[in-house]
Amino acid sequence: MSFATTDLCDANETRLADGSLRVLAPVFRHFGKRTAFSGPAATLKVFEDNSLVREAVESPGNGRVLVVDGGGSLRCALVGGNLGVLAEKNGWAGIIVNGSVRDSAELAVCDIGVRALALHPQKSQKRNIGEREVAVLMPGAVVRPGNWIYADADGVLVADSKLEG
C-alpha cells in the first residue's frame, strides 16, 4: 500500500476525533533505508536492556513493525546495525524506539524503517528483562499489539485497525 500520513489524517478525521487513529509526537528521527513503512505492531517494554529486542528481530517479522518502549532513555542504544540486519533478513517492516539507536551508517543501508529519539554509541545491558506484547505508552499515543503503524517523512500514525488507502 502506498500512502501519505497527511492524506490518511485528512481521510480519517472522524477516527482522529474518536481516538481510533492517533499521531505520535513529532520527536522521532529517521534512520534506516525506508522512509515510509507500515504494518501491524508488535510491542516491547524494556529499559536499557535490548535482550528482548534481539529476540524479536531474530524471529519472523511478517511485515510487522516492532514498537519498543525504551522509557525514553538516552543513556544507551537499544538497536544497532546488527539488529537492523537481522530485522531486514527476517521480514520486519520497521522498528520504532522510544529511546536511542546506534550504528547510524549501518542502519542507513538496512531495508527497513527505523525511528528513534536519538543516537547513542553505547550498547545496552543484556539482562533479559522486559515485557512482550503489552500496551506501550509512546510519545503522544498508546500502542497496542496489532495496532497498525503508518510512518513516513511527515510522521507516525497509530490506528486501531488497518486503514483503507
Cα 18 to Cα 134: distance, rounded to the nearest angstrom: 22
- pLDDT confidence of residue 102: 98
Please check whether residue 23 is in contact with residue 140, taking contact to mean a CB–CB distance below 8 angstroms: yes
pTM of the predicted protein model: 0.97
| Torsion angle (degrees, nearest 10) of CA 113, 79, 67, 12 | -30
CATH number, domain with residue 85: 3.50.30.40
End-to-end CA distance of the chain: 7
On whether residue 68 sits in a domain, the answer given is: yes
On whether residue 28 sits in a domain, the answer given is: yes
Range of the domain at 55: 5-159
- Average pLDDT of each block of 10 consecutive residues along the chain (165 residues)? 93 98 98 97 98 98 98 98 98 98 98 98 96 98 98 98 86
- pLDDT confidence of residue 164: 81
- pLDDT confidence of residue 1: 64
On whether residue 113 sits in a domain, the answer given is: yes
On whether residue 165 sits in a domain, the answer given is: no
On whether residue 164 sits in a domain, the answer given is: no
Helix (H, G, I), strand (E, B) or coil at 136: strand
Domain count, the chain: 1
